Amino acid sequence: MALDMFSKGVVGLDIGSSSIKAIKLKKNKEGYELTGAEIVNLSSDSVEDLDPEAKHTLYVNTLKKILKQKNIAGSKIVTAILGDSAIIRYIKVPYMPAEELKNSISIEAEQYIPLSLDQVVLDYQVLSESEEENQKKMEVLLVGVKNDIMAQHLQMLKEAGVVPAAVEVDSFSLCNAYDLNSSEQSEGGIKADTVALINMGSKLTTITITEKGIPHLSRDVGIGGNSLTKEIQRELATSFAQAEELKKQQAVIMVESEELLLSSMPGGEDDKSSRIFEAITPALNKMLNDIRRAFDYYESTVKRKPVQKILLSGGTSKIKNIDRFLSERLGIPVEINYPFKNINISSKNFDFDYLRANAVHFNVALGLALRSAEKL
């Protein structure tokens, strides 16, 4: 039944802070085929500044709009909640059979989830098995979401006419998308074992570090594209919508490896671009420091290999030179994460230029659509 469901297509629905993205995939003999891709912006203004009721109504109406699209409508849907809404813990337990783990996971979770377990929706996944001091152990991912947060999410979907087949945490859907392309994700012809998947959204920047395809750390940083937009808005005394457009069109990050002279820009825009760069620099540096702290924690506390490569996604990753800025400051290769490398796409149904220009927006949605059929 699950495989039949997947053969008819599954939609990954990424409900972000500034837009909603949907990807529909079908699985066939050749692999995965893209049959739908949609982005609908929520508002030209900052959604974060709306009161809860207005925000809820906006999300419901936007969901209804995207779900009416003919290539999305009538499909099974997998959606996600933001990582900052979840309690995520990586734990090690003695090896035990699956049924025994299922029966004992609540006891284990009480030690790590800082809430009464009757207040959370709890899920877990075995990540790996290992031998330590002659004892076989399992690394287990624990995820807890407060009941009221999950209830709000499901109510919003219900009002939009959606009963999701599954709900994930957005950061782990990035791993699904990465796994599909990992055979092609290499540095200098050598596959990087430890990769940081950094999704730069409007509200948050999500850092997920994987080693050989297994996630070992997930962390949200409270700096996103909206933080940069608001700094531009303040500097240039303009509206949020105008500042957002300026960020997209004129933001350029100065990098040390080349003499990027703003004065060489045509149209006399050099002064404005310089002011934009100066305005966003403090927020960029804070984001950089938070990323560096996550990497340091991973190496020192989780005691894993250093990050060998960074893959960027999300709308903020489209700012010119942000990949080079992070690479120079962190001393790690950085690439923009194109999610459709191993997806079959028909030129009859899609505009390749549109998909390429917007690809970085779709990593989470694609990962949700790739959720294994067995889990559905």
CATH number of the domain within which 231 lies? 3.30.420.40
pLDDT at 261 over 70: no
Helical segments of the chain, H only? 2-7, 52-67, 98-109, 147-159, 170-181, 225-236, 240-250, 270-300, 322-330, 352-358, 363-369
Mean pLDDT value of segment 270-296:
91
Mean pLDDT value of segment 292-299:
93
Quote helix, strand, coil % in the chain, to nearest 5: 45, 30, 25
Mean pLDDT value of segment 297-316:
89
pLDDT at 1 over 50: no
**Rounded distance between C-alpha atoms, residue 198 and residue 207, angstroms:** 5
| Residues 6 or more apart whose Cβ sits within 8 Å of residue 154 | 164, 167
Q: Is residue 166 part of a domain?
A: yes
Task: Give yes or no: residues 119 and 56 share one domain.
Answer: no
Task: Give yes or no: residues 9 and 153 share one domain.
Answer: yes
Task: Give yes or no: residues 155 and 80 share one domain.
Answer: yes
Look at residue 269 in the predicted model and tell me its pLDDT.
Answer: 54
**Rounded distance between C-alpha atoms, residue 273 and residue 284, angstroms:** 15
Task: Give yes or no: residues 76 and 160 share one domain.
Answer: yes
**Rounded distance between C-alpha atoms, residue 11 and residue 369, angstroms:** 5
Q: Is residue 218 part of a domain?
A: no
Task: Give yes or no: residues 63 and 152 share one domain.
Answer: yes
Look at residue 374 in the predicted model and tell me its pLDDT.
Answer: 38
pLDDT at 206 over 90: yes
CATH of the domain at 104: 3.30.1490.300
What DSSP designation does 121 have? E
- C-alpha dihedral over 196, 170, 119, 149, to 10 degrees? 140
Task: Give yes or no: residues 79 and 167 share one domain.
Answer: yes
Helix 52-67 × helix 147-159 angle, to 10°: 50
Q: How many domains does the chain have?
A: 3
Look at residue 8 in the predicted model and tell me its pLDDT.
Answer: 62
Cα–Cα distances (Å) from 156 to 52, 83, 92, 148, in that order, read 12, 18, 35, 12
pLDDT at 12 over 80: yes
Look at residue 257 in the predicted model and tell me its pLDDT.
Answer: 54
pLDDT at 302 over 90: no
pLDDT digits (tens, 9 = 90+) for 241-252: 999 999 998 888
Least confident of 122-136, 267-281, 348-362: 267-281
pLDDT-derived band at 111 (thresholds 50, 70, 90) equals confident
Task: Give yes or no: residues 171 and 252 share one domain.
Answer: no
Task: Give yes or no: residues 173 and 46 share one domain.
Answer: yes
Mean pLDDT value of segment 55-84:
85
Look at residue 317 in the predicted model and tell me its pLDDT.
Answer: 95
**Rounded distance between C-alpha atoms, residue 178 and residue 371, angstroms:** 12
Q: Is residue 301 part of a domain?
A: yes
Among 343, 353, 48, which Cα is nearest to 176's? Answer: 343
**Rounded distance between C-alpha atoms, residue 257 and residue 325, angstroms:** 9
Q: Is residue 23 part of a domain?
A: yes
pLDDT at 346 over 90: no
pLDDT-derived band at 232 (thresholds 50, 70, 90) equals very high
pLDDT at 74 over 70: no
Look at residue 242 in the predicted model and tell me its pLDDT.
Answer: 93
CB count within 10 Å of CB 17 equals 17
Task: Give yes or no: residues 7 and 91 share one domain.
Answer: no
Task: Give yes or no: residues 352 and 239 share one domain.
Answer: no
Mean pLDDT value of segment 122-135:
86
245 is written with which tokens? Answer: 């457009």
Task: Give yes or no: residues 105 and 129 share one domain.
Answer: yes
Look at residue 280 in the predicted model and tell me its pLDDT.
Answer: 94
Task: Give yes or no: residues 305 and 233 share one domain.
Answer: yes
**Rounded distance between C-alpha atoms, residue 81 and residue 100, angstroms:** 29
Q: Is residue 199 part of a domain?
A: no
Look at residue 190 in the predicted model and tell me its pLDDT.
Answer: 45
Question: Concatenated DSSP letters for 43-91?
Answer: -SS-GGGS-HHHHHHHHHHHHHHHHTSTTTTT-EEEEEE-GGGEEEEEE
Residues in the chain, total: 376
Look at residue 361 in the predicted model and tell me its pLDDT.
Answer: 95
**Rounded distance between C-alpha atoms, residue 76 and residue 85, angstroms:** 24
Mean pLDDT value of segment 243-263:
72
**224 vs 263, residue with greater confidence:** 224
pLDDT digits (tens, 9 = 90+) for 23-38: 999 888 888 899 889 9
Domain range holding 321? 225-330
What DSSP designation does 28 have? E
Cα–Cα distances (Å) from 352 to 24, 41, 355, in that order, read 16, 20, 5
Look at residue 327 in the predicted model and tell me its pLDDT.
Answer: 95
Among 185, 184, 178, which Cα is nearest to 199's? Answer: 178
Q: Is residue 266 part of a domain?
A: yes
Q: Is residue 189 part of a domain?
A: no
Beta-strand pair 194-200/205-211: antiparallel
